[in-house]
Structure 1
């Protein structure tokens, strides 16, 4: 299970880095700087946030074999997945409907 979570964490890092590259390219082509700043903030806060909020709790749960820590991991990981879906769908209520992903 920890290898799947590590692959998920690395996938998140790669996706957020690719997001920064894509938004930088769009910014160079003439898009506004606002969405570029959001991509940078998302990368800077998303990678350490994912590590602290769901990868490290899984590591601690695997190390101590604690059911409560596994429950915390699953709860936080569900919030992470829901935020990823929200970012990809990009409803028009946030940032004029521009995607965070």
Structure 2
């Protein structure tokens, strides 16, 4: 069995990697897409790190320490959680052609869309430099607000992109199938895989010159 190699931790840290990750074990036809989803996870993580800097400027500009503390929690908690909850499922789905993992990715990625929208809105006290927090702070400290504007734009780009490419009518149908157990049907599994593939491809539209299909939908007329 291959030795775990992710995350790649420095030797002086007394912790061992928790996962094995090697894109060479992904089939050729899915390897590029899997790498792009990994880059999307990195983008989300970088955005949370930049948000921490924005909240630091917010604190020094007179915004209090609550948002900075919450920003630390966002970064520490959601960086590993997003890796485990939606990148690992899509990685395993591409690796083994698993319909269950495609479905798991699809549901969690929809939650990621919702979180991205909340972050872009930027409710004060929630630890994110969104539009409400940033615009309201321009009247208090322009310098700090300009720094806050950077993660605000990043959150907005992620939220808008994911919303238009990853949501839609297929979500309610997917929820119904999950609760009723219909996902066990081979035809529904194939539809779920296609929907998740569409979400994955849509999520990477801004990182590729290639054109992918738009919102994923279940086509019951052809599958049933």
TM range (shorter): 0.7 to 0.9
Deviations 1:77-101 (Å, cap 9, x if unpaired)?
111111111221245xx84xx6625
- Map 1:10-25; keep pairs closer than 5 Å: 10-25=42-57
Deviations 1:2-50 (Å, cap 9, x if unpaired)?
1221121010111001000111112122210001001000000010010
Q: More helix per residue: 1 or 2?
A: 1
The equivalent residue for 1:61 is 93
RMSD across aligned positions (CA): 1.7
Between 1 and 2, higher relative CO (CA 8 Å, sep ≥ 6) is seen in 1
- Number of matched residues? 97
Q: Which runs of 5+ in 2 are unaligned?
A: 1-32, 130-224
Which SS does the other structure have where 2:63 is aligned?
A: coil
Matched, 1:100 2:132: no
The equivalent residue for 1:41 is 73
**TM norm structure 2:** 0.41
Q: Which runs of 5+ in 1 are unaligned?
A: none
Which portions of structure 1, spanning 4 or more consecutive aligned residues, are displaced by more than 3 angstroms?
none
The equivalent residue for 2:13 is none
Highest Rg: 1 or 2?
2
Distance 1:99 1:89, change over 3 A: farther
**TM norm structure 1:** 0.86
CA distance in 2, matches of 1:45, 1:6: 18
